Chain A
Amino acid sequence: MIGAWVWRVSRWLLLLAFAAFFLLPLVALLDFSTTIPRTGERTGAAWQSLLEDPQMTQAIKTSLLLALFTVIGMVVLLVPTMIWVKLRVPRASRLVEFLCLLPLTIPALVVVVGIKNVYAWVTYLIGDSALTLTFIYVVLVLPYAYRSIDAALSSIDAGTLSEAARSLGAGWFTVITRVITPNIWPGVLGGAFISVALVLGEYTVSSLLNYETLPVVIVLLSKSDAPQSMAASLASILFAAALLVVLSFLDRRRRTTVRK
């Protein structure tokens, strides 16, 4: 009896400790971003400026578009490749895994230095836009997206499903798009979420290549208008968290419809 009671209390204490650890900084951010430093009065000015300050709105737009393009690029590049390797050239799976995990082992700084020359060509060919960062970001998210998709792909019998579809008359394109992909969707969604979170928080590359993405502008503003940069930080964290909730909700709804 006592054991169960102690267990319950300690579980709650643990939960509270974790909540405090994660939530306190956020509450502090909220507090700081809504306070006028000298007088201590409450104000929504910093939050309002997120929507009004042209530099900030532009940065938000850029980062959201980058996140979107990166996810599209990742899905288009990685999903068919991984399915193809799994079904047709399983011998190459080690190589693909190695290539996909490589960005994890190379510091962003090194990537930037190496890639700067390539980017001279990229900007020469398709213009000098922050959105060209998509190319680097797709590479940077590969390790995380790979893990997520690989787990989903291993959880289904892709070989048998594809053979069943082939015998029913499906070509490879149909096998990939209509048979395998729908069944690894949770993994693809997971990979997409991690990609969004990563892009929204990526500072090193964009800063070194002089593009004004959200994290770069946040750091810039923190030197002149700290409350606004705090508000932007909190907003991007909340956005990522909301996205996580939405995605997991979508996934759960999908599963319950399947279970119905």
Chain B
Amino acid sequence: MSVTQSSSHSAPSTVSPGLAVEMTALRRTYGTVNALDGLDLHLDPGEMVVLLGPSGCGKTTALRILAGLERQDAGTISVGGRDLTHVPANKRDMGMVFQAYSLFPHLTVLDNVAFGLKLRGRSRKDRRQRAGDMLDLVGLGEQKARYAHQLSGGQQQRVALARALAIEPAVLLLDEPLSALDAKVRVQLRDEIRRVQSDVGTTTLFVTHDQEEALAIADRVGVMNSGRLDQIAPPAELYSSPATRFVGEFVGLSNRIPAQVDGETAVVLDARLPVLPGSAAGAGLALVRPESVSVEPDEHGHATVVSVAFLGPVSRATLTLDDGTLVMAQLASAAAGGLVVGGRVRLRITPSPVLVVGA
């Protein structure tokens, strides 16, 4: 068994030791499509890893293979040192929350949560106690006697989370659990999932196509592209230092500004910036975040304001460089007041490292 970790300060009765997860060289093809193309993924005990990627990138396949709901063509899976590669789904001890509502319609909320405990032969009293505790944990202690159709979507997903955690799973799997919910509930519930997960300390794999969601709750985010992991890193690192063009363009907005790489640095719009590993040599395009671009009105500037969109605390200005390149800049709304559509401006780029990709 591997090292365990727990958060000792909160809800000690619910804390379970996290286990390390190891997925090695996983392959899966559907007909001619490579859903997984040699995926390697490691989760530390108690860690929450979010797999992020566009639809069809293989993230859900990876999760379903870990759950045992789908077979891999090749590769191995182990959890806490135990080889699960050929263990059926019902013997893997994984709690899962699905994208679709999955509560059993014929059972009450309490019986839903107690279902897995019943299968494990726990006594009635024990089951009710544990299920009640889990419902309290997700804030639905009052809804025990209700049925799924009497709950809102967000409540149903919370019950599903309580049900998945009730069995004290080795790993918690979340398959886009928030994508059927409306925006406000989504944000609330994602924070709650994060809180509950840190409380219980279960190693968690979360799959989503929503980058904001991924960046907000993950310990590490893995960006998947065509069945492979392009980069896996803590959210801030992923955002500031993308390893590939795909990651840079998929996570957050990026401007593509012509650049000339010269050794360790690149010249972008008169500024000399350090380049990230993996950058192309020679002439290329620098991926620059809109918030790294600052704008000030200047008659002799080299760009023209095309439009300014007010987004509340910040505004987003679209500009064209004299060579025709479109650039987006994000600036404080107070500063955006001085910009006039059609006016000339000067751009400055914050001197943080950039990824330069081939044109």
Tell me the complex Cα distance, A104–B49, Å: 55
- Nearest Cβ in chain A — how far from B167, in angstroms? 6
A170, B121: Cα distance in complex, Å: 12
The segment from A68-76, A154-162, A188-196, A201-209 that touches chain B is A154-162
Is the CB–CB distance between A167 and B95 below 8 Å? yes
CB of A160, distance to nearest CB on chain B (Å): 5
Whether A168 pairs with B105 at a CB distance below 8 angstroms is no
A171 to B103, CA, bound (A): 17
* B147 pairs with A167, CB closer than 8 A: no
Contacts of A167 in B (CB 8 A): 67-69, 89-90, 92, 94-96, 164, 173
Flag whether B104 is at the interface (Cβ < 8 A): yes
A258 touches B163 (CB 8 A): no
- The contact of A160 among B100, B106, B116, B147, by CB within 8 Å, is B100
B163 → chain A, closest Cβ, in Å?
7
A165 and B96 contact, Cβ closer than 8 Å, known pairs A160-B102, A182-B106, A258-B105: no
Q: In the bound complex, do residue B116 and residue A163 qualify as a contact, i.e. CB atoms below 8 Å apart?
A: no
Whether, in the assembled complex, B115 has its beta carbon less than 8 Å from a beta carbon of chain A, the answer is: yes
B119 and A166 within 8 A (CB): no
Q: Which residues of B contact A182 (CB under 8 A)?
A: 106
Cα–Cα, bound, A171→B120 (Å): 12
A174–B102 CB distance below 8 A: no
Q: Are B102 and A168 in contact (CB under 8 A)?
A: no
- Is A169 within 8 A of B167, CB to CB? yes
A17 to B352, CA, bound (A): 85
Query: Is A24 in contact with chain B by the CB < 8 A criterion?
Result: no
Give the residues in chain A near B88, CB-CB below 8 Å.
166
B156 to A: closest C-beta gap in Å: 12
Per-position 1/0 for B96-134, Cβ under 8 A of A: 101011111110000000011001100000000000000
Which of A157, A161, A168, A183 lies in contact with B116, CB distance below 8 A? Answer: A168
Instruction: Tell yes or no: A259 within 8 A of B by CB.
Output: yes
Kindly state the separation between the CA atoms of A183 and B102 in the bound complex, as whole angstroms.
13
CB of B93 closer than 8 Å to a CB of A: yes
In-complex Cβ contact of B100 among A157, A168, A171, A259 (8 A):
A157
Q: A165-B115, A258-B147 are in contact. Are A170 and B98 (CB under 8 A)?
A: no
CB <8 Å contact, A171 and B106: no
Q: Is A179's beta carbon under 8 Å from chain B?
A: yes
Once bound together, how far apart are the Cα atoms of A169 and B119, in whole Å?
7
Is A245 an interface residue when CB atoms closer than 8 A count as contact?
A: no
Which of A163, A171, A258 is within 8 Å of B102, CB to CB?
A163
With A161-B104, A174-B119 as contacts: A166 and B89 at CB distance below 8 Å: yes
A258 to B94, CA, bound (A): 29
Task: Identify which of B96, B103, B115, B147 contacts A163 (C-beta below 8 A).
Answer: B96
Is there contact, CB below 8 Å, between B104 and A169? no
Given the complex, which residues of A lie within 8 Å of B68, measured CB to CB?
Answer: 166-167
Decide if A113 is an interface residue (CB 8 Å cutoff).
no
Contact between chains at B115 and A168 (CB < 8 Å) = yes
Please indicate the chain B residues that have their CB under 8 angstroms from the CB of A183 in the complex. Answer: 104-106
> Least Cβ distance of B284 to chain A in Å?
45
A174 partner residues in chain B, CB cutoff 8 A: 119
- Please name 11 pairs of A and B residues whose Cβ atoms are closer than 8 Å in the assembled complex, sorted by A: A163-B98, A164-B96, A164-B102, A164-B163, A167-B94, A168-B167, A170-B115, A174-B119, A179-B104, A182-B106, A258-B149
- Nearest first, the 8 closest Cβ-Cβ pairs linking A and B are A168-B116, A164-B102, A167-B96, A182-B106, A166-B89, A169-B119, A160-B100, A160-B102
Interface on A for B, CB 8 Å cutoff? 156-157, 160-161, 163-171, 174, 179, 182-183, 185, 258-259
